[in-house]
Chains A and B, each alone.
Chain A
Amino acid sequence: MSVASSENIVVRSLSQIGDCGLFLLRMLAAIPRSMRHYRETIRQLWFVGAMSLIIIMVCGLFVGMVLGLQLYDVLSIFGGTSATGTVVAIAIYRELGPVVTALLFAGRAGTSVTAEIGLMRATDQIAAMEMMAVDPIAYVAVPRFLAGVIAMPLLTCVFCALGIFGGHLVGVTWLGIDNGTFWSNMTATVEVVKDVVNGVIWKSVVFGIVVSLIAVFQGYTTPPTSEGVAYATTRTVVASSIAILALDFVLTAFLM
């Protein structure tokens, strides 16, 4: 019984991943058609990107501050507090920036995209678009997907910048690490390609694609009921979180 049901879960997960991939292909095929709805993409960029700024900035600041605090504490054991800025920057660029931003994005924007599309289905808005000869993939799915893919790297950059600021705030302003030391050590060690491009940019682009795909897919394929929408938003968070952390490992292994 349990074997059968666990097999069931595996089969269902695999078929979900397969459906998700096919859905991605459908969206990619619809991108040229959705170019005429570029205004909708801009509007979605506002909703998923600009509206997530506050939470991203606040969280970035606090992550940077707590990193500064913890690292100062640990590094002072070795008399290496001057490396605080370096370690804050590297930790944020390589891991915390892209990962935490993606998790926050999944919770803030991903769920709202899923719920919105699910409700559009439940209230026949998607069907109505089909009836008005408007391709809902091109009009509903692709703009939200593209907006997520564009917004994620930008949000990650903002998160990282605020994280550095938070680390500086705690390390230099509060704990008294020398300002010049903080920056010069950071600039001596942090590299553009390895840390900013491979860490911040590549990871966040991949996370943007995955989180947006999951959010749009879950919303688009959920049963059009209030129950279905509730489950779909939960699944968006769960699936996104797992995908982000698993892909983070894979990407780190490849990009290092």
Chain B
Amino acid sequence: MSQRQSYAVGTGLFIVLGFAALGYLATQTTSVANSSRGPSYTVEAHFANIGQLKERAPVKVAGVRIGQVQSIVLDPGKETADVKLAIDKRYDQIPDDSIATIFTSGLLGDQYVGVRYGTSKKTLADGGELALTRPAQQLEEMLGKFFGAGGVADNLGGSYVVKARFTNVGALSVGAPVKMAGVAIGSVQSINADPVKLDALVTLAIDKRYNQIPDDSAAAVFTSGLIGTQYVAIQPGGSPDALKNGDEMVLTQSAMQIEDLIGKFLVSGSSSGKPADGGKTDGGKH
């Protein structure tokens, strides 16, 4: 009988291991890991074209996830899509004249709804409607190659923390590298939407070895390659004082949406439009 029991125990362990693996796959490696489970309220938006937008796609403000797409149906009798967005309760200060746009996160990425805040004093309530929308753009056909690849971030020797505010972090994600002159010097520690100032508060963990960064340096969100992820580039300033732990970087430059960029290319027909947003340093040096 002990032989039988040992089979039963071993088999039980095997089954537990299998289900543990399944649980891991389902919750840690899929969009479930991102989906917020907190209380939410529903907002409606009508789009002329939703492109590849799917249910449960993220809704972002300044690049930070604030909710997800709840349902997509065709408006009865109209040629527009009725998209319901479930927004987290804690982000309840969205102006009711905000603009909802369908963006693509990277070339291969899925589409998401980006919300750009308006100026109205009134905020959206449950069941409200985002009246201003911009439909999805069909990107894929327009694109070619872009910049080079990223580098390696290593965290030997500890790090210190610096804050930066961006009006839009684009597809920047936690853990993305922080680079100076193309070399990784740290990583993004956290990204949060500021419910009051309505921008993205990004915390950067910078390696202790690089403790001589001038405190008037600028932080910019760049994209490493078209398909690639975004990273934070630090452009050193001229101040004699160095950034210290907990400091906030004053000069920031937000992520450019690929749509905006391409729109500029297409409209201006020359690269002269690029420096307008591209800033003072050459982002494509690496």
Interface residues of chain A, those whose CB is within 8 Å of chain B, are: 39, 42-43, 45-46, 49-50, 53, 75-76, 78-83, 86, 89, 93, 150-151, 153-155, 157-158, 160-161, 164, 176, 178-181, 183-192, 195-196, 200-201
Stretch at the interface among B76-84, B103-111, B208-216, B244-252: B103-111
Stretch at the interface among B4-12, B156-164, B192-200: B4-12
Interface pair B229/A82, CB less than 8 Å apart:
yes
Bound CA–CA A164/B15 (angstroms): 20
Judge whether B183 is part of the interface by a CB distance below 8 angstroms.
no
Interface residues of chain B, those whose CB is within 8 Å of chain A, are: 4, 7-8, 10-11, 13-15, 17-19, 21-22, 24-26, 28-34, 56, 58, 105-110, 145-153, 173-177, 187-188, 224-229
Interface pair B173/A157, CB less than 8 Å apart:
no
| Chain A residues, Cβ within 8 Å of B24 | 161
Interface pair B21/A157, CB less than 8 Å apart:
yes
Task: Name A187's contact: one of B19, B29, B150 (CB within 8 Å).
Answer: B29
Bound CA–CA A93/B30 (angstroms): 11
Whose C-beta in chain A lies nearest to the C-beta of B223? A79
Interface pair A155/B150, CB less than 8 Å apart:
no
From known contacts A79-B228, A161-B21, infer whether A195 and B30 are also in contact, taking CB-CB under 8 Å: yes
Closest 4 CB pairs of A and B: A180-B175, A154-B18, A79-B225, A80-B227
Interface pair A191/B31, CB less than 8 Å apart:
yes
Bound CA–CA A42/B7 (angstroms): 7
| Chain B residues, Cβ within 8 Å of A154 | 14-15, 17-19, 21-22
Of B18, B33, B149, B150, chain A has the most CB atoms within 10 Å of the CB of B18
Task: Name A186's contact: one of B21, B22, B29, B110 (CB within 8 Å).
Answer: B29
A-B contact pairs, 9 of them (CB 8 A): A49-B15, A80-B108, A157-B19, A178-B175, A179-B175, A188-B109, A191-B30, A191-B56, A192-B31
Q: A81-B149, A178-B175, A192-B32 are in contact. List 11 more A-B contacts (CB 8 A).
A: A39-B4, A43-B4, A43-B11, A45-B11, A46-B10, A49-B15, A153-B22, A155-B18, A176-B153, A180-B173, A188-B110
Task: Name A181's contact: one of B11, B31, B145, B175 (CB within 8 Å).
Answer: B175
| Chain A residues, Cβ within 8 Å of B33 | 183, 187
Whose C-beta in chain B lies nearest to the C-beta of A187? B33
Minimum CB–CB distance from B80 to chain A (whole Å) comes to 26
